[in-house]
Amino acid sequence: MLGEGILKGMAETARNFFGSYVSKERLTTVEYPEERIPAIEAARVFPFLVYDGADWEAGLRCVACQICEKECPPKCIYIDKSKDKKPDYVGKQQFYPTRFDIDVSVCMSCQICVEVCPFEAIKMDNEFELATDDRFGGLLYDRKQLARSNEYYHSIHPTEASQVDARLGEEKAKVEAKAKAAAEAAAAKAAAPAPPAPTAGGGS
Amino acid sequence: MATSPLFTHFDQIFILLRNWLVGFLPAALRPAAGVVLGVITIVCLFPGLFALTTVFERKGLGRIQNRLGPNRVGPFGFFQPVADGIKSLTKEDIVPFSANAVVHFLAPLSLVVAVFMEFAVLPMGRNMVLVDLNAGLLFFFSMSASTELSVFMAGWSSRNKYSLLGAMRAVAQMISYEVVLLLSSVSVVMIAGSLSLPKIVAAQDSYTGIFPHWYIFTPWGLAGFVMYAIAATAETNRSPFDLPEGESELVAGYHTEYSGFKFALFFLGEYLAMFAISGLGTTLFLGGWSAPFSFLTFVPSWIWFFSKVMLSIFVFIWMRGTLPRLRQDQLMNFAWKFVLPFTLLNLFVTALWRFMGEGWMRWVVCTVILVAAYVLMGRLSMRNEHFGPRRYRYAE
């Protein structure tokens, strides 16, 4: 009959109206500043720099290779390479960034810097409350503001972080094994009577 | 109990208050001062009610959609209208460069003034009517018809395609439904025998047993009320008839080019028109200020009037939360092919009711005619309707 659908619809909305006062499941609203839902593991907002150990400056994994700076689509990363070198996590001498700035207002959260980084040095954070009242200085994060410990990385992306750690550990073990083998070879060479070998050193 | 002095005092409290205030003035000024006081009351009361309604509407619509609605400003968000008011007052008042500035300025004013005039003839309680005109109903309708002019002034003077389209839709819609609105009220006039709204209420203020003699409890009254409600929704541009301001297709319709306080005036005018038309519907069909049961007559009459109006407003909001917007051709077809013929038939049924005299016979005859007509017209009008996904003839 004419008008039947209207009555059905009105009944449905009335059920919603009264139901929303009775059952909490109907209301899906999370009242944000007071209530929060935990971030899902894959959430990504803005990059940060990972450091190992306690000292952020010494432990920074970044070697200032500048790949991310070149790959960044909106060009929001600014890196200055150091003149001197410091040992990285395997003990190899590497450059380090004397300046590593990211402009929050330009970053588009594409994660390309993370994907191109060969050193697992830059990762995505899930911190999203980045608002500031200083729109120039406050939006340009320097390396100190960007540095986060590896433990923090584990706390926000546990699965990914342990995969990264496993990969780094493997590499370190490989390097160590190589170094050990080289050392053994050198020791064997030194032990053996070798008359004609004046300039050996690192004959890799 | 209805005659006890305490009740009379409480029922007539506003009248007594007015007379007491006016008593301080010389006798020559008293009638004028009384009217001014009444006007001030109306001008303060209804915008206050409007502010309350906006927050209730937003909360109610939220609940209908399983949301919370505004709850930040003040306790439970009830100060939201204050925030909205401050916002609209402090916003820049933009007049388009090529707009007709005078008409653009006058449109919201004339709308609000015309709508306020409608309240002059509404009886809001026993003896509580500002002007008891003999032709109160006619006055009401002439005032509500002049809002169409304001809407068209707004749409035309803005010099904007959306505004003009919205205004043209509004005029087409309001004129179509104005006919229905008038014709459905005429049946009440036929029975009550008066155009004066207090007299129409007085005609309904009697009881059989505990049940009142409201016109909605008669076959023709119920049919008339349903038609009136449909036409009233269309008159006030409320969803599902909100085509003049359909925001998904016309930005905001005739008030697209209005900002700041002028926009707030349009908003106010729309809600005031809703109160006025609910008040008229209450007066015509729901017994005005009379109590719904004879044992409830101890409650002051103005409480009944305002509860009935707020109930109608709630139904307006409920419909808005339920129904999607109609298409323009559906709107016009509905007005001219269904509502208008049915209202004309209802006029005939009312005449039948009037001349068949007392007795159960007229109940049966009138009910049968109306139900049969409703079912038949529904069948006929839906005969060629195809429900389900839309079929395209050329584009596939």
pTM value surpassing 0.80: no
Has residue A92 got a pLDDT over 70?
yes
Residue of B68, B227, B316, B322 to mutate, testing the A interface (most A Cβ within 10 Å of its Cβ): B322
pLDDT category, A199, cuts 50, 70, 90?
low
Q: How far is B205 from chain A (nearest CA, A)?
A: 30
B22 vs B18: CA distance, rounded Å: 6
Across the interface, which of B65, B66, B382 has its CB nearest the CB of A2? B382
A156 inside domain? yes
Tell me whether residue A173 is in a domain. no
Query: Between chains, do A13 and B321 touch, taking CB under 8 Å as contact?
Result: yes
At residue A28 the predicted structure's pLDDT band, cuts being 50, 70 and 90, is confident
B381 touches chain A (CB under 8 A): yes
The residues pairing with A46 across neighbouring beta strands, listed in sequence order, are A125
- Residue B279's φ and ψ, nearest 5 degrees, are -65, -40
pLDDT range class, residue A11, cuts 50, 70, 90: very high
Say how many domains are in chain A: 1
Largest Cα separation within chain B, whole Å, is: 80
Q: Does the beta-carbon distance from A17 to B64 stay under 8 Å?
A: yes
B201-248 pLDDT, tens digit per residue, is 888 888 888 888 888 888 888 999 999 999 999 888 888 888 777 777
Residue whose pair of structure tokens reads 């007509």 in the numeric block? B373
Residue-level pLDDT at A203: 44
Residue numbers in chain B where pLDDT is lower than 70: 1-3, 385-387, 396
Residues spanned by the domain of A63: 46-162
Which residues does B139 contact at the CB level (< 8 Å), separation at least 6? B117, B120, B121, B133
Residues in B 316-345 with any Cβ partner in A closer than 8 A? 318-319, 321-323
**Nearest residue of B to residue A17, measured between CA atoms:** B64
B64 contacts chain A (CB < 8 A): yes
Residue position matching structure tokens 């006081």: B37
Instruction: Give domain status of residue A15, yes or no.
Output: no
Tokens 């195809």 locate to B386
Q: What is the mean pLDDT of chain A?
A: 84
Chain B CA closest to residue A14: B64
User: What distance in Å separates residue B38's CA from the closest CA in chain A?
Assistant: 37
Distance CA B43, CA B319 (A): 27
Residues of B in contact with A19 (CB under 8 A): 66
Determine the Cα–Cα distance for residues B396 and B393; give it in Å rounded to an integer. Answer: 7
CATH number of the domain enclosing A115: 3.30.70.3270
Residue A65 within a domain:
yes
Cβ atoms within 10 Å, residue A177: 10
Q: Chain B: residue nearest A26 by CA? A: B66
Per-residue pLDDT band at A204 (split at 50, 70, 90)? very low
Closest-approach residue (CA) in chain A for B387: A5
Q: For residue B378, list chain A residues with Cβ-Cβ distance below 8 A.
A: 1-3
* ipTM associated with this complex: 0.75
B-chain residues near A17 (CB < 8 A): 60, 63-64, 318, 321
- A154 domain-assigned: yes
Residue A127 placed within a domain: yes
Chain A hits for B382, Cβ within 8 Å: 2
Min Cα separation A135/chain B (Å): 25
If you count residue pairs, one on A and one on B, with CB atoms under 8 Å apart, how many are there? 44
